[in-house]
A = this chain, B = another copy of it.
Amino acid sequence: MTAQVVASLRSDARDNRLRVLAVARAAFAADGLDVPIREIARRAEVGVATVYRHFRSKEALLTEAFAEQMASCSAIVREGLAAADPWSGFCLVVEGLMEVHALDRGFARAFTSRVDRAVDFVAERDRTLRQLFELVRRAKEAGSLRGDFVVEDISLALMANEGIRAESPAMRVAASRRFAALMIQSFQADPVPAALPPAVRLPLSRP
């Protein structure tokens, strides 16, 4: 084979890999994490063997499909934990996680699901969650976060965030920001009404 043919084969393989990742993200978002590899292969128009050549298992595919979003989440929680004031750190985290989740429903679903066998994905998620628990502990200790808050309330807020629909991704993010501000208000121990991000025109509006 000429060098050109080799390069072109490599480039095909790279294209396949990226296509499988994109298809997997869309499939997980639309149909949940149970979509089988063969269905992902079918939608990506490649053979099942090609998928396995790039990803040793469905778990590896899931982990790689959401590697970037998971890294963003970890960074957000680390930043929140590093904030001088735990309440500010907590607010940063709620806003940040909601923004990442608003842009990618597949990831939102993966992040809030039991994915027992995706070892690397779960390990990083759990590391991030442990930091989140620590931040919650500090924000409660500072008297800023309500005493009956539980970390599941973030899960509740993130799942709820998934339900928000709007006409465009930009409106989706704007609606999500207002929603995050409302949730933060509700989490505060001694709430002081703060200005909200502007309301977004949503499907159900003035008749």
Q: Which residues of A contact B (CB under 8 A)?
A: 111-114, 125-126, 129-130, 133, 146, 148, 150-156, 158-165, 175, 178-179, 182-183, 185-191, 193, 195-196, 199-207
Contact = CB atoms under 8 A, between A and B. Distances in A.
A186 B185 contact: yes
Among A125, A152, A205, find the residue whose CB has the most chain B CB atoms closer than 10 A: A152
Contacts of A205: 151-152, 155
B164 A204 contact: no
B129 A199 contact: no
A4 B196 CA distance: 66
Contacts of A164: 156, 159-160, 163
A153 B199 contact: yes
A202 B111 CA distance: 12
- Best-surrounded residue of A129, A165, A207 (most CB of chain B within 10 A): A207
Given A163-B159, A193-B191, A206-B133, A152 B185 contact: no
Contacts of A202: 112, 152, 155-156, 159
Nearest to A201: B152
Contacts of A165: 112, 159
Contact of A203 (B113, B179, B193, B196): B113
A29 B147 CA distance: 36
A20 B100 CA distance: 39
Contacts of A187: 182
Contact of A156 (B125, B146, B175): B175
A111 B204 contact: yes
Contacts of A111: 204
Nearest to A162: B163
A19 to B, nearest CB: 25
A189 B190 CA distance: 13
A122 to B, nearest CB: 8
Contacts of A126: 207
B162 A199 contact: no
